[in-house]
């Protein structure tokens, strides 16, 4: 696996797009005449990782491009792992910003730092052999907060459960 996953996530939009192939195409389905006559849908494929994201909900190509880029960042965060040593791990400065004194991890999905936080959580989760309680302890948050983080974002939950299933662990619900 690539050891510089956070580096991809730290790039600004323009720099990340330079590492991508962007396809524009006509989306099918409802949306009126404009949707069927303009190339408003966007597919972005990150060349170093071959991860792709699509957005076609809006009639505006620019809006769809921003959405696809945001989705790409999250997919990179979920898929590309950095190896960390669980014994010597300490939360990064970015992660620490979102951990409260009462053991809660508070970050909104719309926050630009969300993919970076998710990437670090996933790295710690892997270093703890996908065990939620051990991961929560390493991050300095409660097990309930750890579970809530996964449960509130369907794409994160899906990926965590896919990995837990591959490791013969029970899925989160």
Rounded mean pLDDT, 68-96:
93
**87 is a domain residue:** no
- Farthest CA pair distance, the chain: 58
- Please give the full DSSP string across 80-99, using - where no structure is assigned: ------TTT----HHHHHTB
Average of per-residue pLDDT across 126-140: 94
Q: What is the domain extent for residue 115?
A: 93-166
The mean pLDDT of 35-62, rounded to a whole number, is: 87
Angle at 75 between CA 96 and CA 100, to 5 degrees: 15
155 in the same domain as 109: yes
Instruction: Tell whether the model's pLDDT for residue 30 goes beyond 80.
Output: no
Q: Which of 79, 106, 132 is the last residue of a domain?
A: 79
Give domain status of residue 86, yes or no.
Answer: no
Q: Contact at 8 Å (CB) between 60 and 77?
A: no
| Structure confidence at residue 138 (pLDDT) | 94
CA distance 138 to 133: 9
Q: Are residues 72 and 32 in the same domain?
A: yes
What proportion of the chain, given as a percentage, has pLDDT over 70? 91
* 3 state SS of 20: strand
Q: What is the mean pLDDT of the chain?
A: 89
Domain finish residue from 32, 57, 79: 79
Q: What integer pLDDT is reported at residue 86 of this predicted model?
A: 86
Is pLDDT above 80 for 83? yes
My answer on whether 73 and 100 are in the same domain is: no
Query: Which pLDDT does position 26 carry in this prediction?
Result: 82
Do residues 73 and 98 share a domain? no
Q: What is the pLDDT of residue 38?
A: 72
pLDDT recorded at residue 3: 40
CA angle centred on 136, ends 100 and 152, rounded to 5°: 75
Enter the pTM of the model: 0.88
122 close to 132: Cβ distance less than 8 angstroms: no
Contact indicator for 98, 118 with CB cutoff of 8 Å: no
Give the pLDDT score at 117. Answer: 94
Helix (H, G, I), strand (E, B) or coil at 24: strand
Q: Using DSSP bridges, classify how beta strands 20-25 and 41-46 pair: parallel, antiparallel or unpaired.
A: antiparallel
Tell whether 40 is covered by a domain.
yes
Residue where a domain terminates, one of 79, 101, 132: 79
Residues 20, 62, single domain; the answer is yes
112 pLDDT more than 90:
yes
- Residue 122 has a pLDDT of 96
Beta strands in the chain (DSSP E): 20-25, 41-46, 51-55
- The answer, yes or no, to whether residue 37 has pLDDT greater than 70, is no
The C-alpha atoms of residue 148 and residue 133 are separated, in whole angstroms, by: 12
């Amino acid at each position: 696996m690539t050891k510089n996953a956070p580096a991809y996530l730290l790039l600004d939009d323009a720099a990340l797009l330079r590492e991508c192939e962007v396809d524009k195409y006509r989306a099918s389905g409802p949306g009126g005449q404009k949707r069927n006559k303009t190339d408003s849908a966007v597919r972005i494929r990150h060349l170093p990782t071959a991860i792709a994201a699509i957005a076609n909900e809006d009639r505006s190509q620019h809006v769809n491009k921003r959405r696809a880029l945001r989705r790409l960042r999250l997919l990179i965060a979920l898929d590309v792992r950095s190896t960390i040593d669980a014994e010597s791990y300490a939360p990064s400065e970015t992660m620490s910003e979102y951990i409260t004194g009462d053991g809660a991890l508070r970050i909104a999905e719309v926050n630009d730092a969300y993919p970076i936080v998710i990437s670090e959580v996933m790295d710690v989760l892997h270093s703890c052999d996908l065990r939620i309680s051990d991961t929560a302890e390493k991050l300095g948050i409660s097990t309930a907060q750890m579970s809530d983080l996964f449960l509130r974002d369907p794409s994160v939950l899906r990926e965590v459960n896919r990995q837990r299933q591959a490791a013969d662990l029970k899925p989160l619900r």
